[in-house]
Amino acid sequence: MQFDETPIGAYKYELDTPILLIDLDLMESNIAKMADFFRSVNANLRPHTKTHKTPIIAHKQIDASAIGVTCAKLGEAEVMVNSGIKQVLIANEIITPLKIEKLTSLARHADLIVAVDDEDNVEHLSKSAFNKGVNLKVLVEVDIGMKRCGVEPGEPALKLAHKIEKSKNLTFAGLMGYEGHTVTIPDFDKRKYETEKSMALLVETKDLIERSGLRVEIMSGGGTGTYNITGKIPEMTEIQAGSYVVMDAYYKNVVNEFDCALTILSTVISRPNKTTAIIDAGIKTMTKEFGLPLVKGIEGVKLTRLSEEHGNLDVSKSEIDLKRGDKIELIPTHCCTTINLHDKFYGIRNDRLETIWDIEGRGKVR
Amino acid sequence: MQFDETPIGAYKYELDTPILLIDLDLMESNIAKMADFFRSVNANLRPHTKTHKTPIIAHKQIDASAIGVTCAKLGEAEVMVNSGIKQVLIANEIITPLKIEKLTSLARHADLIVAVDDEDNVEHLSKSAFNKGVNLKVLVEVDIGMKRCGVEPGEPALKLAHKIEKSKNLTFAGLMGYEGHTVTIPDFDKRKYETEKSMALLVETKDLIERSGLRVEIMSGGGTGTYNITGKIPEMTEIQAGSYVVMDAYYKNVVNEFDCALTILSTVISRPNKTTAIIDAGIKTMTKEFGLPLVKGIEGVKLTRLSEEHGNLDVSKSEIDLKRGDKIELIPTHCCTTINLHDKFYGIRNDRLETIWDIEGRGKVR
User: Are A71 and A159 within one domain?
Assistant: yes
User: Are B231 and B95 within one domain?
Assistant: yes
Q: What phi and psi, each to the nearest 5 degrees, are found at residue A232? A: -95, -5
Q: Which of A118, A309, A342 sits opposite B73 (nearest CB)?
A: A309
Q: Which of B285, B325, B365 sits opposite A284 (nearest CB)?
A: B365
Residue B13: band (very low, low, confident or very high) from pLDDT cuts 50, 70, 90: very high
B-chain residue closest to A308, CA distance: B337
Chain A residue numbers with beta carbons less than 8 Å from the beta carbon of B121 are 324
**Mean pLDDT, residues B287-297:** 97
Which H/E stretch holds residue A248?
Answer: none
Q: Which residues of A338-366 are buried (b: 16+ CB within 10 A; e: fewer)?
A: bbbbbbbbbbbbeeebeeebebbbbbbbb
**How close B49 gets to chain A, by Cα (Å)?**
13
Cα A204 from Cα A267, distance rounded (Å): 54
> Regarding beta strands B19-23 and A69-71, do their DSSP bridges make them parallel or antiparallel, or are they unpaired?
unpaired
Residue A3: band (very low, low, confident or very high) from pLDDT cuts 50, 70, 90: very low
Contact A96/B16, CB-based, under 8 Å?
A: yes
Q: Which domain-ending residue is among A245, A272, A307?
A: A245
Contact predicate B270/A119, CB 8 Å:
no
The predicted-structure confidence for A33-89, as pLDDT tens digits, reads as follows: 999 999 999 999 999 999 999 999 999 999 999 999 999 999 999 999 999 999 999
For A107-169, strand residue ranges (E) read 111-116, 136-141
User: Are A205 and A109 within one domain?
Assistant: yes
Contact B95/A337, CB-based, under 8 Å?
A: no
Chain B residue numbers with beta carbons less than 8 Å from the beta carbon of A98 are 3, 16
Is position B153 within any domain? yes
Is position B165 within any domain? yes
Give the mean pLDDT of chain A. 97
The predicted-structure confidence for B43-61, as pLDDT tens digits, reads as follows: 999 999 999 999 999 999 9
Residue A2: band (very low, low, confident or very high) from pLDDT cuts 50, 70, 90: very low
Helix (H, G, I), strand (E, B) or coil at A272: strand
Cα B103 from Cα B73, distance rounded (Å): 11
pLDDT score of B319: 87
| pLDDT for residue B5 is more than 80 | no
**Mean pLDDT, residues A232-247:** 98
3-state helix/strand/coil string of chain B: CCCCCCCCCCEHHHCCCCEEEEEHHHHHHHHHHHHHHHHCCCCEECCECCCCCCHHHHHHHHHCCCCCEEECCHHHHHHHHHCCCCEEEEEEECCCHHHHHHHHHHCCCCEEEEEECCHHHHHHHHHHHHHHCCCEEEEEEECCCCCCCCECCCHHHHHHHHHHHCCCCEEEEEEECCCCCCCCCCCHHHHHHHHHHHHHHHHHHHHHHHHCCCCCCEEEECCCCCHHHHCCCCCCCEECCCHHHCCCHHHHCCCCCCCCCEEEEEEEEEEEECCEEEECCCCCCCCCCCCCCEEECCCCCEEEEECCCCEEEECCCCCCCCCCCCEEEEECCCHHHHHCCCCEEEEEECCEEEEEEECCCCCCCC
Chain B residue numbers with beta carbons less than 8 Å from the beta carbon of A272 are 117, 143, 147-151
Contact A147/B276, CB-based, under 8 Å?
A: yes
Contact predicate B116/B141, CB 8 Å:
yes
Is position B64 within any domain? yes
Range of the domain at A183: 41-245
Is position B251 within any domain? no
Give the mean pLDDT of chain B. 97
Is position B303 within any domain? yes
Residue B304: band (very low, low, confident or very high) from pLDDT cuts 50, 70, 90: very high
**Mean pLDDT, residues B272-278:** 96
Contact B117/A312, CB-based, under 8 Å?
A: no
Residue A5: band (very low, low, confident or very high) from pLDDT cuts 50, 70, 90: low
**How close B119 gets to chain A, by Cα (Å)?**
11
Q: Which of B121, B150, B272 sits opposite A272 (nearest CB)?
A: B150
Q: Which of A151, A267, A310 sits opposite B148 (nearest CB)?
A: A310
Residue B6: band (very low, low, confident or very high) from pLDDT cuts 50, 70, 90: low
A-chain residue closest to B275, CA distance: A147
Number of structural domains, chain B? 2
Q: Which of B147, B150, B324 sits opposite A118 (nearest CB)?
A: B324
Contact B120/A307, CB-based, under 8 Å?
A: no
* B321-B326-B331 Cα angle (round to 5): 100
Domain holding B137: CATH number?
Answer: 3.20.20.10
pLDDT score of B2: 40
Cα B35 from Cα A283, distance rounded (Å): 30
Report how far Cα B5 is from the mean position of its chain's Cα atoms: 27
The predicted-structure confidence for A161-206, as pLDDT tens digits, reads as follows: 999 999 999 999 999 999 999 999 999 999 999 999 999 999 999 9
Largest CA distance in chain A: 73
Residue A7: band (very low, low, confident or very high) from pLDDT cuts 50, 70, 90: confident
**How close A40 gets to chain B, by Cα (Å)?**
31
Cα B267 from Cα A97, distance rounded (Å): 12
User: Are B314 and B200 within one domain?
Assistant: no
Contact B3/A102, CB-based, under 8 Å?
A: yes
Contact A272/B117, CB-based, under 8 Å?
A: yes
Q: Which residues of B26-53 are buried (b: 16+ CB within 10 A; e: fewer)?
A: bbeebbeebeebbeebebbbbbbbbbbb
Q: Which of B19, B308, B324 sits opposite A72 (nearest CB)?
A: B308
Q: Which of B95, B148, B289 sits opposite A267 (nearest CB)?
A: B95
Contact A149/B272, CB-based, under 8 Å?
A: yes
The predicted-structure confidence for A90-146, as pLDDT tens digits, reads as follows: 999 999 999 999 999 999 999 999 999 999 999 999 999 999 999 999 999 999 999
Neighbour-count burial of A307, counting CB atoms closer than 10 A to its CB (0-12 exposed, 13-18 middle, 19+ buried): middle
The predicted-structure confidence for B344-359, as pLDDT tens digits, reads as follows: 999 999 999 999 999 9
**Mean pLDDT, residues A275-301:** 97
User: Are A130 and A209 within one domain?
Assistant: yes
Contact A365/B281, CB-based, under 8 Å?
A: yes
Count of Cβ atoms closer than 10 Å to residue A39 Cβ = 8
User: Are B239 and B266 within one domain?
Assistant: no
Output Rg (C-alpha) for chain A, integer angstroms: 22
pLDDT score of A230: 98
pLDDT score of A1: 38
Chain B residue numbers with beta carbons less than 8 Å from the beta carbon of A312 are 147-148
Is position A353 within any domain? yes
Q: Which of B3, B99, B363 sits opposite A16 (nearest CB)?
A: B99
Q: Which domain-ending residue is among A202, A218, A245?
A: A245
User: Are B169 and B53 within one domain?
Assistant: yes
B-chain residue closest to A78, CA distance: B4
Q: What is the ipTM of this complex?
A: 0.95
Residue B300: band (very low, low, confident or very high) from pLDDT cuts 50, 70, 90: very high
Integer angstrom CA distances of residue A72 from A80, A118, A201, A361, B136: 12, 18, 23, 11, 47
Contact A147/B95, CB-based, under 8 Å?
A: no
pLDDT score of B267: 98
A293 preceded by a cis bond (ω within 30 of 0): no
User: Are A83 and A164 within one domain?
Assistant: yes
* CB–CB contacts below 8 A, A to B: 158
| pLDDT for residue B223 is more than 90 | yes
Is position A210 within any domain? yes
For residue B241, the number of C-alpha atoms closer than 13 Å in the C-beta half-sphere is 32
User: Are B46 and B137 within one domain?
Assistant: yes
Domain holding A285: CATH number?
Answer: 2.40.37.20
Output Rg (C-alpha) for chain B, integer angstroms: 22
User: Are A198 and A340 within one domain?
Assistant: no
With CA atoms as reference, report the closest residue to A253 among A324, A159, A186, A156: A186
User: Are B215 and B92 within one domain?
Assistant: yes
| pLDDT for residue A4 is more than 80 | no
The predicted-structure confidence for A297-310, as pLDDT tens digits, reads as follows: 999 999 999 999 99
Contact B151/A18, CB-based, under 8 Å?
A: no
The per-residue DSSP string of A213-239 comes to T----EEEE--TTTHHHHTTSTT--EE
Q: Which domain-ending residue is among B245, B269, B292?
A: B245
Is position B304 within any domain? yes
User: Are B234 and B261 within one domain?
Assistant: no
B-chain residue closest to A286, CA distance: B365
The length of chain B is 366
Contact predicate B38/B61, CB 8 Å:
no
pLDDT score of A246: 98
The predicted-structure confidence for A319-352, as pLDDT tens digits, reads as follows: 899 999 999 999 999 999 999 999 999 999 999 9
